[in-house]
């Protein structure tokens, strides 16, 4: 039977197993919205801004591993989605974004609501397509899902002109697909794996450093097994938190600009660095010339272009994290040699000494709420089991430092692009995917205002998020930099004329709370977590001048941290 392009779009999503479609209607996608109306296989989530749609789809993807799917109209719909597409791109999140386009006959005419969506999104997608003929539609959507979810994942845009959604053709959705120009399967070199094993065993002061790739590649289980087998210390990047249980004694915490003393010192002094699914980002390495001066480096990554991009490595292994780590562990167990026990014990002694500085300690008082206190309480009250999303700023770093993530995909944040406005919509996606779980969004009073309109979406779909606003009345992270590096000239970083957040939340139909005293933190969190069916917006008035420590200033090496 012949279907219209619009019907084909929806059938493709259904056949692809898509649960939720995050979207916002408009002229160019009206045919598709009509097709949505006439089915209930794919559930459409109506957001309040296209940026919200992309972040929600992204949060869904990060917390499940399945691709997030978005539908927006042409022109402003597409441009509003760009921030979310770029956010997903920098963190390698699988996403398929369908954008409406003006009819093919009008393309290039500066038609109403026309932008070159393929051109605008090109630098921030894994790939994009413009569909010119309805006959290519199903195949293109299949390709989009295939490209988005395989290899190093990423967002893919499919731009669909309005007339293509009206034209009819036979529907056929391929089960499998091959593209001659794209082969995501990689088989790693046994030779390199052997060399890696030798190097791992030769280490006197080893460090395991892992990133978001381990989460994305579902490599957490084997990583944990391997790390425990070796008995080596491990640190995670901001994106990699949860891939190794934070409560484990081999875990040194996060590394990098706001990493722990023990993790950064361990990095700086190690002699063998085992980097897994991490990309040597500048926020992790600090000054690249001072990075791991004595280390031989093994780098395992699915993307060859990540290897030796910023830091030259000694043993490059291109491959999927899970099979590569399995091969390594297999060889280790087969072989006669074992890690150098005495050397490793010595190394741990040194690490424990660093650890004893207790770099994340903080002081509480009776007067003013410390943000770290809120997160520590939150961890206790949720048994460390909540999904936590965050926005960008100090609160993000405190979440990463003080909420010990035990499981991968539990921690959802915009690491690469650092997009304020991410937290709330991302939490919606997480909650939709995990309706029975506690989902918290830790945010700042500046960030939350960037996508606050999504509180209405939360009401419409009964998403009982717990929003933890650490309200310091400053763009805290900006203020911190101004305090340290601009002689306290707090240029434009004070948040004037804030709304009454609790009442604002109430006006959207949610529960609002104001918490001003340290003694009330625990009670308020407990009360909020008890309201299982309601979104609770907790406005914590926190210490205005609290800073994130430790900190590595720009240009410094990992051993040159500012402690408190």
Ligand X SMILES: Cc1ncc(C[n+]2csc(CCOP(=O)(O)OP(=O)(O)O)c2C)c(N)n1
405 is catalytic: no
Is residue 394 a contact residue for ligand X (CB under 6 A)? yes
Give the CA distances from residue 428 to residues 60, 260, 383, in Å, rounded to whole numbers and listed in that order.
8, 31, 21
- The residues of the shown chain that bind other proteins, judged by CB under 8 A, are 118-119, 122-123, 126-127, 130, 147, 179-182, 303-305, 308-309, 312
Instruction: Report what 75 binds from other proteins, ligand X, none; CB cut-off 5-8 Å by kind.
Output: none
Q: Are strands 168-170 and 2-4 parallel, antiparallel or unpaired?
A: antiparallel
Choosing from 445, 454, 543, 546, the residue that interacts with ligand X (CB under 6 A) is 445
| Candidate list 2, 39, 112, 526, residue with the active-site label | 112
With contacts defined by CB under 6 A, name the span among 56-64, 163-171, 388-396, 550-558 that binds ligand X.
388-396
Binder to ligand X among 86, 120, 433, 478 (CB under 6 A)? 478
Site for ligand X in 407-426 (CB under 6 A): 418-421
Place of tokens 């490599």: 219
Q: Where are the alpha helices (DSSP H) in 16-49?
A: 30-37
- The minimum distance between CB 420 and ligand X, in angstroms, equals 4
Residues 142-201 that bind ligand X (CB under 6 A): none
Structure tokens at 196: 């890696």
Q: Is 362 assigned a catalytic role?
A: no
Query: Phi then psi for 513, rounded to 5 degrees?
Result: -140, 140
Question: Is residue 51 a contact residue for ligand X (CB under 6 A)?
Answer: no
| Annotation marks residue 162 as catalytic | yes
Choose the one of ligand X, other proteins, none that binds residue 182, judging by a C-beta under 5 to 8 angstroms depending on kind: other proteins
Q: Which of 159, 377, 391, 543 is the binder for ligand X (CB under 6 A)?
A: 391
How many residues bind to ligand X according to rule CB under 6 A?
Answer: 20
Residue 392 lies near ligand X (rule: CB under 6 A): yes
Interface residue with ligand X, options 217, 444, 512, 518 (CB under 6 A): 444
Q: Which is nearer to ligand X, 4 or 443 (CB)?
A: 443
Cα dihedral 470, 372, 431, 20, rounded to 10, equals 70
Q: 493 Cβ partners below 8 Å, 6+ apart? A: 474, 475, 478, 479, 482
Q: Nearest Cα to 163, choosing from 1, 298, 32, 309?
A: 32
Shortest Cβ 442–ligand X spacing (Å): 9
Give the active site residue among 19, 113, 132, 407: 113
| 72 vs 392, beta carbon nearer ligand X | 392
Say how far apart CA 338 and CA 332 lie, in whole Å.
Answer: 8
- Is 112 in the active site? yes
Told to judge if 449 belongs to the known catalytic residues of this protein, a careful annotator would answer: no
Residue with tokens 């036979």: 170
Segment contacting ligand X (CB under 6 A): 324-332, 361-369, 445-453, 531-539?
Answer: 445-453
127 binds, among other proteins, ligand X, none (CB under 5 to 8 A by kind): other proteins
What 3 state SS string does 325-379 have?
HHHHHHHHHHCCCCCCHHHHHHHHHHHHHHHCCCCCCCCCCCCCECHHHHHHHHH
Decide whether 147 or 468 has the Cβ nearer to other proteins.
147
For 88, residues 6+ apart whose C-beta sits below 8 A from its C-beta are 54, 58, 61, 68, 95, 154, 155
- Exactly one of 50, 114, 262, 377 is catalytic; which is it? 50
Provide the Cα torsion 458, 92, 550, 344; round to 10°. 130
Q: Closest Cα to residue 461, out of 141, 91, 20?
A: 20
User: Minimum CB separation from ligand X for residue 46, in Å?
Assistant: 23
Residue from 474, 501, 540, 549 touching ligand X (CB under 6 A): that is: 474
**118 touches which of ligand X, other proteins, none (CB within 5 to 8 A by kind)?**
other proteins
Closer to ligand X by CB, 146 or 398: give it.
398
Q: Give the nearer residue to other proteins in terms of CB position, either 84 or 151.
A: 151
Choose from other proteins, ligand X, none: what does 420 bind? Cβ within 5-8 Å by kind. Answer: ligand X
Site for ligand X contains 301 (CB under 6 A): no
Among 217, 384, 476, 512, binds ligand X (CB under 6 A): 476
Rank residues 179 and 562 by Cβ distance to other proteins and give the closer one. Answer: 179
Q: Smallest gap, in angstroms, from Cβ of residue 151 to other proteins?
A: 9
Among candidate residues 199, 207, 254, 477, the one labeled active-site is 477
Could you identify the residue written with the tokens 């195949």?
139
Rule CB under 6 A: choose which of 160, 239, 252, 470 binds ligand X.
Answer: 470
**Tokens (6 digits) for 524:** 């308020």
Kindly tell me which residue out of 63, 237, 447, 457 binds ligand X, with binding defined by CB under 6 A. Answer: 447
In the complex with other proteins, the residue whose CB is nearer, 182 or 508, is 182
CB of 414 to ligand X, least distance (A): 8
DSSP code per residue over 251-314: EEEE-STT--HHHHHHHHH-SEEEEES----HHHHSSGGGSSTT-EEEEEES-GGGTTSSS--S
User: How many CB atoms within 10 Å of residue 555?
Assistant: 10
The answer to whether the CB of 71 falls within 8 A of the CB of 98 is yes
Residue 370 near ligand X by CB under 6 A: no
Stretch touching ligand X by CB under 6 A, among 48-56, 92-100, 197-205, 444-452: 444-452
Phi, psi of 157 (to 5 degrees): -105, 135
Closest CA to 540 of 362, 372, 360: 372
Report the alpha-carbon distance of residue 235 to residue 151 in Å, rounded.
24
Alpha carbons within 13 angstroms on the beta-carbon side of residue 378 total 30
Tell me which residue has tokens 């706001």.
258
The residues of the shown chain that bind ligand X, judged by CB under 6 A, are 391-395, 418-421, 444-447, 470, 472, 474-478
Residues annotated as catalytic are 50, 112-113, 162, 477
């Amino acid at each position: 039977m012949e279907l219209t392009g619009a019907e084909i779009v929806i059938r493709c999503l259904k056949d692809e197993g898509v649960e939720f479609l995050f979207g916002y209607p408009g002229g160019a996608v009206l045919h598709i919205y009509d097709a949505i109306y006439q089915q209930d296989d794919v559930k459409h989530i109506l957001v309040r801004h296209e940026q919200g749609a992309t972040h929600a789809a992204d949060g869904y993807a990060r917390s499940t591993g399945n691709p997030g799917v978005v539908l927006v109209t042409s022109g402003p719909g597409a441009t509003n989605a760009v921030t979310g597409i770029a956010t997903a791109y920098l963190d390698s999140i699988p996403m398929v974004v369908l954008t409406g386009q003006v009819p093919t006959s009008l393309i290039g005419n500066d038609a109403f609501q026309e932008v070159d969506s393929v051109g605008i999104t090109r630098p921030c997608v894994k790939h994009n397509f413009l569909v010119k003929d309805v006959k290519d539609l199903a195949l293109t959507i299949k390709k989009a899902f295939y490209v988005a979810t395989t290899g190093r994942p990423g967002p893919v845009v499919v731009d669909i002109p309005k007339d293509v959604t009206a034209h009819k053709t036979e529907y056929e959705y391929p089960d499998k697909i091959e593209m001659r120009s794209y082969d995501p399967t990689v088989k790693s070199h046994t030779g390199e794996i052997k060399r890696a094993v030798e190097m791992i065993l030769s280490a006197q002061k080893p460090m395991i450093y892992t990133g978001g790739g381990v989460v994305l590649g579902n490599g957490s289980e084997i990583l944990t097994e391997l790390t425990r087998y070796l008995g080596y210390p491990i640190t995670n990047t901001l994106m990699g938190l949860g891939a190794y249980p934070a409560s484990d004694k081999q875990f040194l915490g996060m590394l990098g600009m706001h990493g722990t003393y023990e993790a950064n010192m361990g990095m700086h002094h190690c002699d063998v660095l085992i980097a897994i699914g991490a990309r040597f980002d500048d926020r992790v390495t600090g000054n690249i010339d001072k990075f791991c001066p004595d280390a031989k480096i093994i780098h395992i990554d699915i993307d060859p272009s990540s290897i030796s991009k910023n830091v030259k490595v000694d043993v490059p292994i291109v491959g999927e994290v899970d099979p590569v780590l399995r091969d390594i562990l297999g060889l280790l167990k087969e072989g006669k040699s074992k890690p150098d026990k005495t050397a490793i014990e010595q190394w741990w002694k040194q690490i424990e000494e660093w650890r004893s500085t207790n770099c994340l300690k903080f002081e509480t008082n009776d007067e003013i709420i410390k943000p770290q206190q809120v997160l520590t309480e939150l961890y206790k009250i949720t048994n460390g089991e909540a999904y936590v999303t965050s926005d960008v700023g100090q609160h993000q770093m405190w979440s990463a430092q003080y909420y010990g993530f035990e499981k991968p995909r539990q921690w959802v944040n915009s690491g690469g692009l650092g997009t304020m406005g991410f937290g709330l919509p991302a939490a919606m996606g997480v909650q939709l995917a995990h309706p029975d779980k506690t989902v918290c969004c830790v945010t700042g009073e500046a960030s939350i205002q960037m996508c606050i309109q999504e509180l209405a979406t939360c009401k419409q779909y009964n998403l009982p998020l717990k929003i933890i606003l650490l309200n310091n009345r400053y763009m805290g992270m900006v203020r911190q930099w101004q305090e340290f590096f601009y002689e306290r000239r707090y240029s434009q970083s004070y948040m004037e004329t804030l709304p009454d957040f609790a009442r604002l939340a109430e006006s959207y139909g949610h529960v609002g709370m104001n918490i001003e005293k340290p003694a009330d933190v625990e009670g308020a969190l407990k009360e909020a977590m008890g309201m299982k069916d309601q979104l609770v917006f907790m406005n914590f008035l926190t210490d205005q001048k609290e800073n994130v420590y430790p900190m590595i200033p720009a240009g410094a090496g990992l051993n040159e941290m500012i402690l408190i």
